[in-house]
Homo-oligomer: A and B are copies of this chain.
């Protein structure tokens, strides 16, 4: 199968970390794709009409998206502990944590587009502060509830942990100046630990 993705996308990184953690990465050919709202990839709409990455193309030609769907699919291909628990209270906790990490990335990416793609004259500072309010409030929630995220050094990580780690990694990568760690020491320690994982090291954006 082929994973259409890019090294800088936190959503694609999430899929790669999941695949590494579950021993599936050797079955996936990662195909680098460059796409953005102002420079959409020419052929990508054939696989994914939303012209977004990551998109997984199976050997029979079927295309799967978005990143959550791809990770859910990967979960059927391995015999380790599931990325997404199949039932019970932890399923909703993991899926909601996944949505939290994903929403942090959505907000950060909108800020990135505002600061980089949009011409200077059309930038609206309030848009950035409104999106960053979401990121801040998510940071605060994670600091207060870091135990709920789960052990960053355990043998098995789940999709909630992976999603949160990719959000924090993306914020460090593109918004290093916000300095979120000073007021969130517990989350900072959690992330330092998670970042030691081989799957995180191997997929670090640069």
**A141 contacts across to B, CB distance below 8 A:** 45, 49
Contact between chains at B95 and A52 (CB < 8 Å): no
Contact between chains at B72 and A95 (CB < 8 Å): yes
Of residues 54 through 105 on chain A, the ones whose CB sits less than 8 Å from some CB of chain B are 62-66, 68-69, 72-73, 76, 87, 89, 92-93, 95-96, 98-100, 102-104
CB of A196, distance to nearest CB on chain B (Å):
26
Contact between chains at B123 and A50 (CB < 8 Å): no
Instruction: Number of A interface residues at 8 Å Cβ cutoff, please give it.
Output: 46
Q: Does A140 contact B (CB under 8 A)?
A: yes
This chain: copies in complex: 2
Q: Residues of A at under 8 Å CB distance from B?
A: 37-38, 40, 45, 49-52, 62-66, 68-69, 72-73, 76, 87, 89, 92-93, 95-96, 98-100, 102-104, 107, 118-119, 122-124, 126-127, 130-131, 133-134, 137-138, 140-141
